[in-house]
């Protein structure tokens, strides 16, 4: 039998989660965010499953081209815009919509438009406003002039406005309210579709829904909030990362387990070895005590995570045997819980599953 390490991608759950977005924001259109290889689930796979989305959001033209070369025809928004002027013509040809978030991008677009041939494709543009995230976007006071300059570019087909929420993952944080008020003020009078909400906004801040919502992490069944799990919001986990026990050893009291010998057996006990490690994307910093499911029952990680293996405490599973299934996150074990044990977030764990893991689709 080959190595059992596998990521199962539940496409039905992906579609269910998009359905949740639509229930929560019934008046908004959806830009499904599938950048970073569909948050680690496979960008093309995610796009094909999310056919009910109105548009897709990606981080780069390369990601958009991958979608196009796999037959995805929906509009695609380049959330970081282009990185060099030569990308404008390709983006136009591919019906990609371009975020303009910085004066250098505006100037690049103006230059391109001056020299472009009359056959160049016209493009939809998203003017991004910094309302408090202080990462990408124009400062509010120069938005009117940027708006005018964009409108004066003949290649600009349609204008949209957007901002990004910095603290929507905390449903009580006042910054979201301030960002919303500022966005309303700056965009008042601009005739353009608006987009504000990421998953945190969709779930926690209905007033941010606007014309387009931009869900990412919630599509994959994971909560954007600091506590709880996707299931609390009727989201279903999409990725289940699993493997199997490859050895079960009876270790004597005081045996130190794994590299560094940080975890020491408090008594004579059964220790299971699972074929998964940081070489597969399981977090190296997961602490002893991190839950895993062995045969569907909770067990605990013990000792340091190795590249290809982890060890688990089998004291409560005396009948476990080599070949028994182990789930490290997904069905029955929220990735959020594992992430907290590794001082990280579910987003990171999902994105980090490595190429040697076999991906299997479940419908
Ligand atoms: C501009 C933009 N919109 C939406 C999203 C989706 O965010 P989330 O995954 O928190 O829903 C992201 C993700 O980082 C983003 O950068």
Active site residue 250: no
- Tens digits of residue pLDDT in 15-60: 999 999 999 999 999 999 999 999 999 999 999 999 999 999 999 9
Q: Is 64 left (phi over 0), alpha (psi -120 to 50) or beta?
A: alpha
Q: Is the CB of 198 under 6 A from ligand 1?
A: yes
Give the ligand 1 atom nearest the CA of 219: 11
Averaged confidence pLDDT in the chain: 97
Same domain, 218 and 245: no
Q: What confidence score (pLDDT) does residue 107 get? A: 97
Same domain, 203 and 350: no
Q: How many domains does the chain have?
A: 2
Looking up residue 334, the CATH number of its domain turns out to be: 2.40.37.10
Q: Is the CB of 21 under 6 A from ligand 1?
A: no
Residue 93 belongs to some domain of the structure: yes
Residue 260 belongs to some domain of the structure: yes
Active site residue 35: yes
Same domain, 215 and 181: yes
Residue 6 belongs to some domain of the structure: no
Distance CA 176, CA 207 (A): 10
Q: Is the CB of 196 under 6 A from ligand 1?
A: no
Distance CA 251, CA 315 (A): 11
Query: Mean pLDDT throughout 317-330?
Result: 98
Same domain, 204 and 79: yes
Same domain, 217 and 244: no
- Tens digits of residue pLDDT in 65-110: 999 999 999 999 999 999 999 999 999 999 999 999 999 999 999 9
Given a cut of 90, whether residue 341 has pLDDT beyond it is: yes
Same domain, 177 and 289: no
Residue 1 belongs to some domain of the structure: no
Q: What confidence score (pLDDT) does residue 138 get? A: 98
Same domain, 96 and 210: yes
Dist. CA 6 → ligand 1 center (Å) = 26
Q: What confidence score (pLDDT) does residue 308 get? A: 98
Same domain, 201 and 243: no
Looking up residue 176, the CATH number of its domain turns out to be: 3.20.20.10
Give the ligand 1 atom nearest the CA of 136: 1
Same domain, 252 and 149: no
Q: What confidence score (pLDDT) does residue 171 get? A: 87
Query: Mean pLDDT throughout 147-157?
Result: 97
Dist. CA 188 → ligand 1 center (Å) = 24
Residue 229 belongs to some domain of the structure: no
Distance CA 318, CA 301 (A): 16
State percent of the chain over pLDDT 70: 100
Residues 299 and 291 sit within 8 Å (Cβ to Cβ): yes
Choice among 177, 185, 250, 259 that is catalytic: 259
CB atoms within 10 A of CB 207: 12
Distances (CA, A) of 33 to 97, 147, 218, 309, 345: 14, 25, 10, 32, 17
Tokens of 36: 């970073």
Distances (CA, A) of 222 to 17, 155, 200, 237, 267: 10, 39, 11, 7, 37
Distance CA 231, CA 202 (A): 15
Question: Among 159, 189, 222, which residue terminates a domain?
Answer: 222
CB atoms within 10 A of CB 121: 16
Residue 234 belongs to some domain of the structure: no
Same domain, 114 and 211: yes
Given a cut of 90, whether residue 1 has pLDDT beyond it is: no
Given a cut of 80, whether residue 344 has pLDDT beyond it is: yes
Query: Mean pLDDT throughout 258-283?
Result: 98
Q: Return the closest-CA partner of residue 9 out of 32, 37, 28.
A: 37
Range of the domain at 112: 11-222
Same domain, 266 and 209: no
Residue 2 belongs to some domain of the structure: no
Same domain, 51 and 130: yes
Q: Is the CB of 58 under 6 A from ligand 1?
A: no
Question: Among 222, 251, 284, which residue terminates a domain?
Answer: 222
Residue 3 belongs to some domain of the structure: no
- Tens digits of residue pLDDT in 284-313: 999 999 999 999 999 999 999 999 999 999
Give the ligand 1 atom nearest the CA of 162: 1
Given a cut of 90, whether residue 64 has pLDDT beyond it is: yes
State percent of the chain over pLDDT 90: 98
- Tens digits of residue pLDDT in 206-223: 999 999 999 999 999 999
Q: What confidence score (pLDDT) does residue 204 get? A: 96
Q: Phi and psi (nearest 5°) for 348? A: -65, -45
Distance CA 304, CA 286 (A): 8
Given a cut of 90, whether residue 118 has pLDDT beyond it is: no
Question: Among 222, 249, 272, which residue terminates a domain?
Answer: 222
Q: Is the CB of 81 under 6 A from ligand 1?
A: no
């Amino acid at each position: 039998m080959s190595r059992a390490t596998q990521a199962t991608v539940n496409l039905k759950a992906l579609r269910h989660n998009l359905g949740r977005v639509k229930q929560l924001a019934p008046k908004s259109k959806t830009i499904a965010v599938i950048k970073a290889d569909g948050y680690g689930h496979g960008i093309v796979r995610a796009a094909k499953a999310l056919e009910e989305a109105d548009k897709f959001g990606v981080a780069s033209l390369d990601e958009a081209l991958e979608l196009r070369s796999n037959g995805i025809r929906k509009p695609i928004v380049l959330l970081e815009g282009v990185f060099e002027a030569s990308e404008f013509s390709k983006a136009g040809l591919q019906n990609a919509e371009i975020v303009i978030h910085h004066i250098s991008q505006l100037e690049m677009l103006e230059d391109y438009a001056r020299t472009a041939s009359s056959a160049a494709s016209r493009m939809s543009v998203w003017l991004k406003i910094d309302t408090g995230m202080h990462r990408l976007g124009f400062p509010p006071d120069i938005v009117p002039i940027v708006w005018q300059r964009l409108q004066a570019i003949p290649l600009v087909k349609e204008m949209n406005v957007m901002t990004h929420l910095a603290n929507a993952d905390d449903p009580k944080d006042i910054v979201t309210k301030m960002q919303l008020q500022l966005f309303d003020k700056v965009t008042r009078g601009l005739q353009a579709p608006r987009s504000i909400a990421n998953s945190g906004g969709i779930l926690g801040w209905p007033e941010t829904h606007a014309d387009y919502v931009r869900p990412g992490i919630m599509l994959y069944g994971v909560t954007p909030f600091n506590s709880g799990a996707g299931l609390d919001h009727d989201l279903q986990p999409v990725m289940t990362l699993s493997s199997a026990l490859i050895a079960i050893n009876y270790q004597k009291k005081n045996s130190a387990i794994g590299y560094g010998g940080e975890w020491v057996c408090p008594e004579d006990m059964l220790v299971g070895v699972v074929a998964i490690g940081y070489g597969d994307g399981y977090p190296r910093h997961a602490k002893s005590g991190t839950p895993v499911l062995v045969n569907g029952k909770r067990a605990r990680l013990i000792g340091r995570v190795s590249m290809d293996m982890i060890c688990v405490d089998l004291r409560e599973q005396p009948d476990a045997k080599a070949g028994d299934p182990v789930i490290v996150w997904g069905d029955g074990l929220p990735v959020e819980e594992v992430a907290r044990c590794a001082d990280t977030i579910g987003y990171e764990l999902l994105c980090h599953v490595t190429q040697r893991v076999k991906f299997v689709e479940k419908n």
